[in-house]
Amino acid sequence: MTTPDVTGRGLGLMNIPGAEEVMPPAATASPAQPTPSPPVATPAASALPQLKTPGFSPEAARQDFPILHRTVNGHPLIWLDNGATTQKPRQVIEALGAYYSAANSNIHRGAHTMAREATEMYEAGRAAVAEFLGAGSPDDIVFVRGTTEAINLVAQSWGRANLGPGDDILVPVLEHHSDIVPWQLIAKETRARVVPIPLTADGAIDQDAYADLLSYRTRLVAISHASNVLGTVPPVKEMTALAHRYDAKVLVDGAQAVAHFPVDVQDLDADFYAFSGHKLFAPTGIGALYAKPEILQAMNPWQGGGNMIDSVGFTETTFAPVPHRLEAGTGHISGVVGLLAALNWFTSFDRDAVAAYETALMTYAQQALATVPGMDVIGSAPDRIAVLTFTLAGHDPATIADWLDRDGIAVRAGHHCAQPALAHYGLESAARASLALYNTSEEVDQLVASLRRLQETDQETN
Ligand code: PLP
């Protein structure tokens, strides 16, 4: 095959003639040289366990991220906003450059070499997503802009055809707004009901209440595989099995899960599974929806246009088979190229070792944050990803984020698009540090030191 390899599998611009002149080498991609940060006193650091996980080193992962070598406000960047979006390894950045330097074309339509090559890359991306999710076939994967679009697609296509007056859609209080609002919109049109599943005090889904709410009126259960605000990882497989006893379908929002632990949609027996590439080291604007083949095949188009038809006439228009029927218009081709490179990069690690490292890092962070006066971390469900949402006595979340930003530490403050989950704790807003595989215990130490300084400064001025 002569197709330029832009997969990121050990391949960058150098494999494309002339492309080396287009992009700077990775080593010079850092926008600013790090300046030494003042030494910080690490509270109780000596009392904390050293983080060593066999089979994975965050330092090795970090080397692939040019952005992690820049400074912000005179300090080395500490990126703890991975729940919002992850940074991109140079393999992804280079794959995008290589694609636009030597391989850009629309797909499917053209009969020329470039169109054929672009089509091959696009479909290679689909196959890689299928493998990553444990789907049975690439045909079970629909490309979308991200998790939000995937859920809206299911609501508008499957929901419109399958929901009716008196039907229930069960949605945990934990969910991101993207897994609440699309159901509210379609429920209003179809006169179905969106029924919240309550949380327990620790931020887990109340399984007794869930069992009680399920009935033969339940058509769909929509659950996150990991919460973006509390980190909770619900027992999705068990919840799915229970829903299936009532013939209800289950949609799993994997936006926060896929970058943290291995996923197997067939093992989960999920009917739908959605994720966003940008939370998985890939570019923004690309994501995927998995659906069981028998469900997908019965789904009507939700948008019309090119690429999704077999033939168009003013008396009759016929549609392409799935997944193309659900992908109207020109897709985000370079996004798929970037996603493919991200998957190749990410799956080169031992995924179980990555998950073990992140769990150890979260435990470390929890213990370290507990040493900050006035700290309250919300959510303590037993199974969690490394998301730490907190309040700090005497400071509103926006002030905390602003203070940390001055030290080069990026955290998010606000409602995290999960207002019902925060309301469960009587909050409208909180600060959130969300960790990824490239974060280190030293970065956690810097976070804790900065927060302690905020509290000390506050005491001195009072
Ligand atoms: N679901 C969850 C759990 C999320 O955390 C997010 C984004 O933060 C979304 C859905 C929406 O993702 P996107 O904005 O990429 O569509």
Decide if 74 is catalytic: no
Domain tally, the chain: 2
Residue 438, pLDDT above cutoff 60: yes
pLDDT tens sequence across 324-354: 999 999 999 999 999 999 999 999 999 999 9
Read out DSSP for 30-45? -SSPPPPPPP---TTG
Question: Do 74 and 143 share a structural domain?
Answer: no
Q: Is the Cβ–Cβ distance between 323 and 142 less than 8 Å?
A: yes
pLDDT at 5: 52
Question: Do 170 and 84 share a structural domain?
Answer: no
Residue 441, pLDDT above cutoff 70: yes
Rounded to the nearest angstrom, the distance between the alpha carbon of 157 and the centre of ligand 1 is: 20
pTM: predicted TM-score of the whole model, two decimal places: 0.91
- Which ligand 1 atom sits closest to the C-alpha of 226? 3
Rounded to the nearest angstrom, the distance between the alpha carbon of 255 and the centre of ligand 1 is: 5
Q: Is the Cβ–Cβ distance between 278 and 85 less than 8 Å?
A: yes
Question: Do 394 and 298 share a structural domain?
Answer: no
Model confidence at 454, in pLDDT bands (50, 70, 90)? very high
Asked, for residue 124, whether it belongs to a domain, the answer is yes
Shortest-distance Cα residue to atom 5 of ligand 1? 228
pLDDT at 265: 98
Cβ neighbours of residue 181 closer than 8 Å, sequence gap 6 or more:
none
pLDDT tens sequence across 35-86: 333 434 444 444 445 577 889 999 999 999 999 999 999 999 999 999 999 9
Asked, for residue 284, whether it belongs to a domain, the answer is yes
Question: Do 440 and 331 share a structural domain?
Answer: no
Model confidence at 26, in pLDDT bands (50, 70, 90)? very low
Question: Do 269 and 374 share a structural domain?
Answer: no
Residue 27, pLDDT above cutoff 70: no
pLDDT tens sequence across 193-226: 999 999 999 999 999 999 999 999 999 999 999 9
Asked, for residue 6, whether it belongs to a domain, the answer is no
Query: What average pLDDT does the chain have?
Result: 90
| Cα 154 to Cα 222: distance, rounded to the nearest angstrom | 11
Question: Do 429 and 306 share a structural domain?
Answer: no
pLDDT tens sequence across 108-122: 777 899 999 999 999
Read out DSSP for 62-107? HTT-GGGG-EETTEE-EE-BTTT-----HHHHHHHHHHHHHT----
pLDDT tens sequence across 139-169: 999 999 999 999 999 999 999 999 999 999 9
Question: Do 236 and 139 share a structural domain?
Answer: yes
Domain coverage including residue 357: 37-89+350-455
Shortest-distance Cα residue to atom 6 of ligand 1? 255
For residue 66, whether the previous peptide bond is cis, meaning omega lies within 30 degrees of 0, is no
User: Among residues 177, 417, 425, 453, which one is catalytic?
Assistant: 417
Asked, for residue 283, whether it belongs to a domain, the answer is yes
β-strands 272-276, 249-253 pairing = parallel
Rounded to the nearest angstrom, the distance between the alpha carbon of 432 and the centre of ligand 1 is: 15
Asked, for residue 19, whether it belongs to a domain, the answer is no
Examine the fold and report which residue of 294, 327, 346 is the final residue of a domain before the chain moves on: 346
**CATH assignment of the domain containing 424:** 3.90.1150.10
Residues with CB under 6 A from ligand 1: 146-148, 176, 178-179, 224, 228, 253, 255-256, 276, 417
| Cα 377 to Cα 389: distance, rounded to the nearest angstrom | 6
Of the candidates 186, 148, 147, 144, the residue with the CA atom closest to the CA atom of residue 167 = 186
Cβ neighbours of residue 455 closer than 8 Å, sequence gap 6 or more:
372, 373, 374, 392, 394
Question: Do 277 and 221 share a structural domain?
Answer: yes
- Which ligand 1 atom sits closest to the C-alpha of 276? 15
